Amino acid sequence: MTVIAGTVAALICVMLSILIVVGLRGRATDYERNKAASSALRIAYEVDRRRVQGALTAPEDVVVQLLNDRRAVVAGTERALDGPPIARFHPAEPNIYADRVLCPPAGLDRCMWVLALRVYRQGGDWVIYAATPTIPWYVSPGLLMFLISTSLLVTLLVCLRAWGTVDRTLARVDAIRAELAEITASRSGRRVTVPENQDEIRWLAEAVNATLDRLDSALGRQRTFTSDASHDLRSPITAARAQIEEALLFPDNVDWPQTGRAVLQSLERLQAIVIDLLQLARLDAGAWQGTEMIDLGALVTIEVARSDRTKRIVPHLQEGVTVRGDRLRLVRLLTNLLDNAERHADTRVDITVRREGDAGVLEVQDDGAGVAEQDRELVFQRFARLKAGKERDAGGTGLGLPIAREIARLHGGTLTIEDSDRGARFVLRIPRSVPKINDHPK
């Protein structure tokens, strides 16, 4: 940043210096030529009034010569009086003056701007030459040194200012970096210091703290999930181990078929938990096979027809409600909702499919006790089971509804519990046309 700022300042100084030199050179050139022209006009006025001969006076650095009709020098300034004519050109007949740059004029030693002025005399026209030095491109050494010194000083000040500003800015960024480096999984409650200034660094610190809040929340959910998963996996393993150990202590008094059935039941619960965990892992990884257009009404009809339920299933299906998604995952979602509704229903479960704007809606409602409003989000947490659910089915895993919501989310939809006159009413909304599931943000 300092190099860039210094380079920009140097370029600006160079451009301004060029403009100053060009402007001053033009004004200096005009000034010098006006001095020479004024001297020539003054001599022409004197020639018209009296006889001019010998030495002439002129401003400093201006050389003047007066030539008669025979082109002989009859008067001039000190350096031009005894020398040859300083120029050979003459004004053309229609004109009374002409000018040229000669390098150098005769008898002189540097480039000069020479003005030739025709003066009318009765015996023949006379010519006055007035010469002044040309102005160099840098005008004067003093001006050039002043511009160079000023440009260097301005560039240096800009570099120092840029260095200080960037250093102060990066110091705050470095403080945030140092605080972030000290935050670990075991010390995740820390937050970076938010600067007082309302600038981008403050917004960066606030964004970092918000990200740390989300990471802490995710870390807490991960720890809770790990603890719950460990507990739920340990329970069937412990039960099976206790049964086997008890049977081995008294092998002759054990009903081995009954023990085998009990162990098998524990293994089935263990297998159900592992399958659900694998399903959640696949959903978290976005492992999809592809999408297709799916008729929700037809999907519900097929799944209800091929599954045996202990409660009455009543469908209310609107035709032509199609969504884009993964068929196997949507079947799993529907199965999980039906299993949950069947577990809590008294006599019947209603399934509704309808179109709602640009979304397809699937509702599953039972006629049971329902879910209290404060528990409507709790049931979607992994391994979370309400007391009523444990009483009705002690072998549940607490992963069915979280899996269903995750499938809905990855389809760009939502799964919520909404108000109903009786029982729990689960409502799934999926856009009828969504991007590829693989590209959906997690």
DSSP per-residue codes, 332-378: HHHHHHHHHHHHH-SSEEEEEEEEETTEEEEEEEESSS---GGGTTG
Q: Which residues pair with 130 in a beta bridge?
A: 64, 115
Q: In this predicted structure, what is the pLDDT of residue 374?
A: 86
- Strands 126-133, 292-295: pairing is unpaired
pTM above 0.75, yes or no: no
pLDDT tens string 291-309 = 788 899 999 999 888 888 8
Question: Quick one: pLDDT at residue 435?
Answer: 46
φ, ψ dihedrals at 88, nearest 5°: -115, -10
Pick the CATH number of 184-285 from 1.10.287, 1.20.58, 2.20.28, 1.10.10: 1.10.287
Q: What is the pLDDT of residue 163?
A: 92
3-class secondary structure, 137: coil
Helix (H, G, I), strand (E, B) or coil at 232: helix
**Phi and psi, residue 296, nearest 5°:** -65, -40
- Give yes or no for a cis peptide into 104 (omega within 30° of 0): yes
- Provide the residue ranges of all domains of the chain, joining segments of one domain with +: 2-141, 184-285, 292-439
| CATH, range 2-141 | 3.30.450
Nearest to 44 by CA among 61, 56, 30, 32: 56
Instruction: Enter the tokens of residue 164.
Output: 């200080």
pLDDT tens digits along 124-149: 889 999 999 999 999 999 999 999 99
Is pLDDT above 80 for 379? Answer: yes
The more confidently predicted of residues 46 and 395 is 46
Q: Give 145's contacts (C-beta < 8 A, 6+ positions apart).
A: none
| pLDDT at residue 289 in the model | 59
Q: What is the rounded distance in angstroms from the CA atom of residue 328 to the CA atom of residue 289?
A: 9
Per-residue pLDDT of 176-196, as tens digits, reads 888 778 776 656 667 777 877
CATH of segment(s) 292-439? 3.30.565.10
